[in-house]
A and B are shown apart, each in its own frame.
Chain A
Amino acid sequence: MGDQPAIVAEGLSKRFGQVRAVDGIDFEQPAGSVLGMLGPNGAGKTTTVRILTTLLAPDAGRARVAGLDVVKQAADVRRLIGLSGQYAAVDPYLTGRENLAMIGRLYGLGRPAARRRAGELLERFDLAKAADRMARTYSGGMRRRLDVAASLVARPPVLFMDEPTTGLDPHGRITLWQLLGELADHGTSLLLTTQYMEEAERLADSIVVVDRGRVIASGTPRELKTRVGGDRLELQTLPGGDPRPLAQALAGLGTGRPVVDIRAGRVVLPVSDGPELLAELARRLARTGLRVADLALRRPSLEDVFLALTGQPGAGAAHAATDDKDPAAGAGSSEPATGRTP
């Protein structure tokens, strides 16, 4: 591999009938990094993954994986990649161990080596106890872990994961994130498609935002957020309180004028250095005797990024909107999308 980029896509296009599923996708992923491909349903993420994993031939454009052309050197590309598709592709009537051993055998491992490798992965993926049960008895999370394990049998340097946490419960999602994080730490290049902003933020070194078959933005999570605007300080009055005195107290503190939402009892202040400001804010509140029910420093979420780039909410919008109605929810660790500051 050396310093070769893990993936280079140039002008990739694929149409199905009249539908341009992928319409000129370009991006480059450095070796050893995690790239999050973010987009709503039908954006062309899965088609892109299928082209990169040699399952589909592009109509136009080129792509190289680990330096190899995915069309002309498809057979060589397959030796260097692992794929975990949208569905947990495991045979329900084989046991976990048999599933992994089968993949190992197909990779050319001898029978004992394939079984040994299967055992290692089952142990690592917390499936050892269920190893000799048929996969049809597994929970969704276990099946997904087995599927991810199957994609790692040959220790591929480049790994593709197409919406790996879709359908998992929160616990299963967090477990998988930890595993994927460890993989990345060990130098595997990972391309991850997702509809979840939180997932891309948490795992990816860089993100490409895809919509209607095109890359509409790319950069690090931080860069993308910067494009949408800086941090915001949000203050919530006590129930029934008037936010206007609060806004007056904040004058000159942020990078812009505080925005007051009287009905919601809320003041939003654009800021550049939130944490520094908090001390001064506390002094002003103490001096004026104003009290607040909630105080939060918000960074724009990728949901905001998506809204800003496409004018449409991404798939995660529904959750964000729910959070938005309940200011108290903002105290949690997640970063709910609030309406953009005007």
Chain B
Amino acid sequence: MSAVLADTTGQAAAPGSALANTATITARNLRRLARVPTLMALATIQPILLVILFTYGIGGAVHVPGITHYIDYLLPGVFVLAIGFGASQTGVAVAEDLATGMIDRFRSLPIASASVLAGRVAADAVRNLFVVGLMIAAGSAIGFRFHAGPAAALAAVTLSVTAGIAFSWLNLLLGIVVRDAESAGLAGLFPVIILTFTSSALVPVATMPGWLQAFANVNPITVMVGALRALCLGGPTARPVAEALAWIAGLLLVTIPAAASRYRHATSA
């Protein structure tokens, strides 16, 4: 009986490997994803709705030179939009973990601090893979086709998930800094909404006023969607993909150290 409670031989716990710890945290977050109804809805209904609403809602008004079906143009944009929306939940989750003392508990354990954050990002990546797959299925049902072959299609899915990893780290940082769950959700959504509607995600940049075009052309969402479109629709891919990867790498280079350092000093209020 006494052994259940305490072991006075004073044997120290041996910490697991960082990789194993990350896998444990990933499993925790995937379980939550499957069990929290709002998270499940955000991962299933929302991406499908985005595809359908944009296709039928504004698709009729948008004419893109050289594009027969708007859905072909739209879907790469909605990949980024849906992943960006979903990532705001990551900021919410980390703010909640701070408020409920989970972060205190994790930080009092002999584990690498990065594994808690990396486990969240990995779970997000699994979720995003699922979301992109769902959108491809929904899009295909209403006319979407990959035009550049299976290798390019695979690359498009990979690039979407990779962009999602950068979004997740950004939202982890936001959640730790903002601390309040609702504010973290808004802080995560705001840049996505603003950047999406000032990018080529839904409409060609050429339809915007000149002053906005200047911004839209350097907007990271335009760059990422441009690369995805090249992979989905065909055409030169090397340069747009390189630009997109440069943005993603830049974002990761800033957000990972910042989030990790903030996390190491974060405690519940």
Binding site for B on A (CB under 8 A): 1, 32, 50, 53-57, 75-76, 78-83, 85-89, 91, 93-94, 98, 102-103, 105-109, 120-121, 123-124, 134, 150-152, 154-157, 179, 182-183, 186-188
CB under 8 Å from chain A, chain B span 121-150: none
Smallest CB gap from A2: residue in B: B10
Smallest CB gap from A54: residue in B: B108
Query: B250 at interface (Cβ–Cβ under 8 A)?
Result: no
Instruction: Tell whether, in the assembled complex, residue B102 and residue A91 are in contact, meaning their CB atoms are under 8 Å apart.
Output: yes
- Chain A residues whose C-beta falls within 8 Å of the C-beta of B105 in the assembled complex: 83, 85, 89, 103, 150-151
Interface residues as binary, B29-45 with A (CB distance below 8 Å gives 1, 0 otherwise): 00110011000000000
Which of B3, B101, B105 has most chain A Cβ within 10 Å? B105
Instruction: Tell whether, in the assembled complex, residue B108 and residue A56 are in contact, meaning their CB atoms are under 8 Å apart.
Output: no
Interface-facing stretch out of B12-20, B47-55, B170-178, B216-224? B12-20
Interface size band for B? 35 or more
- Chain B residues whose C-beta falls within 8 Å of the C-beta of A86 in the assembled complex: 101, 268
Which of B1, B10, B16, B20 has most chain A Cβ within 10 Å? B10
Interface residues as binary, B87-114 with A (CB distance below 8 Å gives 1, 0 otherwise): 0000000000000111011111111000
Q: Give B50 Cβ to nearest chain A Cβ, in Å.
A: 26
Which of B17, B20, B32, B107 has most chain A Cβ within 10 Å? B107
Would A79 and B31 be within 8 Å (CB), given that A86-B101, A106-B111, A183-B6 are in contact? no
Residue from A94, A103, A154 within 8 A of B31 (CB atoms): A94
Instruction: Tell whether, in the assembled complex, residue B4 and residue A75 are in contact, meaning their CB atoms are under 8 Å apart.
Output: no
Instruction: Tell whether, in the assembled complex, residue B101 and residue A186 are in contact, meaning their CB atoms are under 8 Å apart.
Output: no
Binding site for A on B (CB under 8 A): 1-8, 10-17, 20-21, 24-25, 27-28, 31-32, 35-36, 100-102, 104-111, 265, 267-268
Residue from A91, A108, A186 within 8 A of B6 (CB atoms): A186
Would A89 and B13 be within 8 Å (CB), given that A105-B20, A182-B5, A183-B5 are in contact? no
Q: Give B98 Cβ to nearest chain A Cβ, in Å.
A: 11
Instruction: Tell whether, in the assembled complex, residue A186 and residue B8 are in contact, meaning their CB atoms are under 8 Å apart.
Output: yes
Smallest CB gap from A158: residue in B: B10
Residue from B5, B13, B25, B101 within 8 A of A154 (CB atoms): B13
Measured between alpha carbons, how far is A78 from B107 in the docked complex, in Å?
9
- Chain B residues whose C-beta falls within 8 Å of the C-beta of A186 in the assembled complex: 2, 5-6, 8
Would A79 and B21 be within 8 Å (CB), given that A85-B104, A152-B6, A155-B6 are in contact? no
- Chain A residues whose C-beta falls within 8 Å of the C-beta of B21 in the assembled complex: 105-106
Instruction: Tell whether, in the assembled complex, residue A80 and residue B12 are in contact, meaning their CB atoms are under 8 Å apart.
Output: yes
Instruction: Tell whether, in the assembled complex, residue A56 and residue B267 are in contact, meaning their CB atoms are under 8 Å apart.
Output: yes
Measured between alpha carbons, how far is A55 from B100 in the docked complex, in Å?
15
Give 17 pairs: A residue, B residue, CB < 8 Å, sorted on A: A50-B104, A55-B104, A56-B265, A75-B110, A79-B13, A79-B14, A85-B101, A85-B268, A91-B102, A94-B31, A106-B111, A107-B15, A107-B16, A108-B110, A121-B4, A156-B13, A179-B5
